[in-house]
């Protein structure tokens, strides 16, 4: 065996741990676990201001949605009212116009017939 190999064997040879090594490692593990727990416990709570901000944002969103819904409902109501007015207007005007036409025909006769007979008055 050459000196290098011998040196390597010596370096990699098993060494027995020192006294209390295992206890030391377990202590360190326990300490780490306690730190994590403490870290979890010690996280700060959301501030009152942050909570109010969220509440305000929610209220604002709700009011905007409500405003939109009210406006949309109002727009639809106005549209429906306008369409009803249009229908009533059309019916009433046509009724009046037709009655005037029929009254004229009764008084003067149909214009086509009168024209043929040359008796337009």
Interface residues toward other proteins, by CB under 8 A:
78, 81-90, 92-104, 106-107
Structure tokens belonging to residue 17: 């741990």
Nearer to other proteins, 25 or 85 (CB): 85
Q: Cα-Cα-Cα-Cα dihedral of 69, 74, 78, 79, to 10°? A: 0
Helix/strand/coil percentages in the chain, nearest 5: 80, 0, 20
Nearer to other proteins, 30 or 101 (CB): 101
Nearer to other proteins, 7 or 92 (CB): 92
Minimum separation from the CB atom of position 104 to other proteins (A): 6
């Amino acid at each position: 065996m050459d000196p290098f190999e011998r040196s390597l064997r010596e370096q990699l040879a098993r060494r027995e741990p020192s006294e209390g090594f295992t206890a030391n490692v377990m202590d360190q593990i326990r300490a780490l676990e306690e730190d994590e727990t403490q870290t979890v416990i010690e996280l700060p709570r959301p501030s009152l201001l942050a909570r109010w901000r969220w509440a305000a944002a929610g209220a604002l969103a709700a009011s905007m949605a409500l405003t939109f819904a009210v406006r949309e409902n109002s727009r639809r109501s106005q549209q429906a009212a306008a369409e009803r007015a249009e229908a009533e207007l059309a019916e009433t005007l046509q009724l009046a116009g037709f009655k005037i036409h029929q009254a004229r025909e009764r008084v003067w006769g149909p214009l086509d017939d009168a024209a043929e007979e040359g008796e337009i008055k």
